[in-house]
Structure 1
Amino acid sequence: MPDAADDILVRLAVARRDFHLEVDLTLPGQGTTAVFGPSGGGKSTLLRAIAGLEPDAEGTLHVAGQTWQDERERLPAHQRATGVVFQHTALLPHLSVDANLRYGWRRTGSPAHVLDAWIQRLDLAPLLARRPDTLSGGERQRVALARALVTQPRWLLLDEPLSALDANRRAEILPYIEAIRRDAGIPVLYVTHSVEEVARLADHLVLLEGGRVTVAGPALDVLNRSDLPMALRDDAGVVMEARVEETDAHGLLTLHTPAGRLHAHGMANASPHASRHATGTRMRVRVQARDVSLALSRHEDSSLLNVLPATLVELAELPGGQVQARLDASGAPLLARISHRSVERLKLSPGMALWAQVKAVALLV
């Protein structure tokens, strides 16, 4: 268990004419804390206040035993040991990738091996001689991540770093951010409005709306709560820890999960981080409610590879004639979104034993 001395205390307020941010959080000093919520909810304002970039921010900020801000003192942004990466990378356009990295590295006096390590981990060696305007969006974001990390920050702050990228570029860079989460050895604050990114990266989750924290806690606990607005979104689902048991020649993964054995397809695009699908690797799998169908008996004459025994816990009415079924699959939560007609046709009621079915190609890993 992390020591309480590693905790991060955030009690900050920012008052504007039409918006007021006020948070009171104790965050773990390890792992990745994701701040999730709708646009305009205060996510980026909170990150900027932590970084010292909001001059009107008032309150207290203690990071791993060090005071960055309180009623007596306030460290300016350049004295807060943060590495900050925004949606737009703001690389220096007249410098090469190598010079961009060395610019901040020299100022902090970090050892040379730190610079070399992050160039290797983020696969930047082939890009060092190039200038930012010749790079793809994903390449620029990798350079921005390395630029922040070579300064050896005590806290890495990422403000929607993937939101400006298309789906292919996001898929390309997510494994690198997972590697940072695993290898950097520092806490990460990750602002996003993407459930996929939260599911892949977050250890701790803060839901922020209207400048206020609505829920905060361990990421999987929050993601899998059926009483929160997230459970009503079109992409609602559950997230489970999984372990890779095997991978076949076509990229089909066999996963051990709390709900039972599941089959899923790995990333279609091979990457330097394809080892994340090696046997024994731990990962997360997200099962969206709209991809789960229900049956009264198990069918063997079907293309569906994932068929799990489950007990129906609750039925909740949704708009548009839909119903959300909350299930217990061997002790693991599961959601299924079905039509009201299906409920009537199958005569579903809480307590019934059912089979939950989901396509392998629909699972998100």
Structure 2
Amino acid sequence: MTLDVALVMKLGGFTLDVAFAAPAGITVLYGRSGAGKSSIINAVAGLAKPDGGRITVEGEVLFDSRAGVNLPAHKRRMGCIFQDARLFPHLTVAQNLRYGRWFSKRGPEEARVVEMLGIGPLLERRPGALSGGERQRVAIGRALMAGPRMLLADEPLAALDEARKAEILPYFERLGAEMGVPVLYVSHAPAEVARLATTVVALAEGKVVRQGPAADVLGDPQVTPLGPRAAGSVLEARVLAHHKDGLSELEAGGLRLHLPVVSHPVGAVLRVHIEAADVMLASEAPRGISALNVWPARVTEVRMGTGPGAIARLEAGGQVLLARVTRRSAEAMALGPGRDVFAVLKAVSVAPESVA
């Protein structure tokens, strides 16, 4: 299933003018606040009318300004999940779930949704007695019960603390695998994007600056205008061992990577997001340092920022890495395509939420 979006909307001081395709899986709209992400979600859901354009899903036209087509929200079969769960406070969890069923008989069995989301013990409670993470799980369940052809998630984790985010992320990962429901997901958090996205649409000032697989988009220095910590690398790694000192050893192509212990078993394949700001460069092999991850690398590109920073794109062991350095350091090290360096990463720099 593919969602095709082409729309123009005037928003305050700028015009949103985008075109992209969201294939099966999780497509993340990624960018700073005010880039137009939520406006796109609202347009796809039928909650806002674009000034022009065309939106189709599975070949069905949802909106076409030239043809005068604008399906109402309730006919689009889109499940919406927002920052606040928006559950009915006077209904129990079970009653909130069944409310979703009123809109469609095509949804999955209630027992299947309850089991996948782990909300069986919550069914008789009301939303006021739930944690933020529990409320969001129920909101996901209610949306699924309506049998949507796509879920629209507008920064569903933004209001949660890190512990609650870690609780919810695995459920979004399971939606495609277990329910087969594609997701259009809004986020401005790089680690969240790297963990969830199969496709990323990067936005800045109402325009698409890059779209494609998460590793390609986050590994492109062009995304740095999205924020100082936006750029980074996404490595697919395999767990080799868990050591007694609290570290896990992973292998990503030609790289060995030591991280604080991960929950995945030996042999599991996962994705690791490494922010460019956490990678240091050395012109010679460093000695006597505390960092455990030191890799020979070659510079393939250097992009100077408008301020004091620069982004170096590296190739190391067949993997693409980004390193954020100062312009002064880039000039002092004569960084440029073909320059051999050593990339240095402290094991503790990679946060648990950056590993999935």
Shorter chain as normaliser: what TM range? 0.7 to 0.9
Matches for 1:5-84 after TM superposition, within 5 Å:
6-15=1-10, 18-28=13-23, 30-55=24-49, 58-70=52-64, 71-84=67-80
The number of aligned residues is: 350
- 2:100 corresponds in structure 1 to 104
- 1:362 corresponds in structure 2 to 349
Partner-residue secondary structure (3-state), 1:227: helix
Partner-residue secondary structure (3-state), 1:200: helix
- 2:199 corresponds in structure 1 to 204
| Runs of 5+ unmatched residues, structure 1 | 1-5, 268-273
Asked if 2 retains the 8 angstrom alpha-carbon contact of 1:34 and 1:192, the reply is yes
The alpha-carbon deviation at position 21 of structure 1 amounts to 2.6
Asked if 2 retains the 8 angstrom alpha-carbon contact of 1:245 and 1:280, the reply is yes
Say whether residues 1:261 and 2:256 are aligned partners. Answer: yes
User: Structure 2: how far apart are the matches of 1:83 and 1:40?
Assistant: 23
Matches for 1:246-257 after TM superposition, within 5 Å:
246-249=241-244, 251-257=246-252
Q: Which amino acid aligns with 2:62?
A: W
RMSD: 2.6
Say whether residues 1:91 and 2:78 are aligned partners. Answer: no
User: Structure 1: how far apart are the matches of 2:325 and 2:63?
Assistant: 50
Q: Deviations over 1:314-334 (max 9, x none)?
A: 444456654433321123221
The alpha-carbon deviation at position 121 of structure 1 amounts to 1.2
Asked if 2 retains the 8 angstrom alpha-carbon contact of 1:312 and 1:353, the reply is yes
Q: Deviations over 1:254-287 (max 9, x none)?
A: 22213512122246xxxxxx5xx12232221111
Say whether residues 1:238 and 2:233 are aligned partners. Answer: yes
User: Structure 2: how far apart are the matches of 1:314 and 1:214?
Assistant: 18
Q: Deviations over 1:149-199 (max 9, x none)?
A: 122210110000011112222122212222224322122100111111111
- 1:283 corresponds in structure 2 to 270
User: Structure 2: how far apart are the matches of 1:286 and 1:309?
Assistant: 19
| Runs of 5+ unmatched residues, structure 2 | none
Q: Which amino acid aligns with 1:86?
A: F
TM-score normalised according to structure 2 size: 0.88
Asked if 2 retains the 8 angstrom alpha-carbon contact of 1:97 and 1:127, the reply is yes
Partner-residue secondary structure (3-state), 1:278: coil
Q: Which amino acid aligns with 2:220?
A: R
Q: Which of 122, 147, 156 is matched with 1:161 structurally?
A: 156
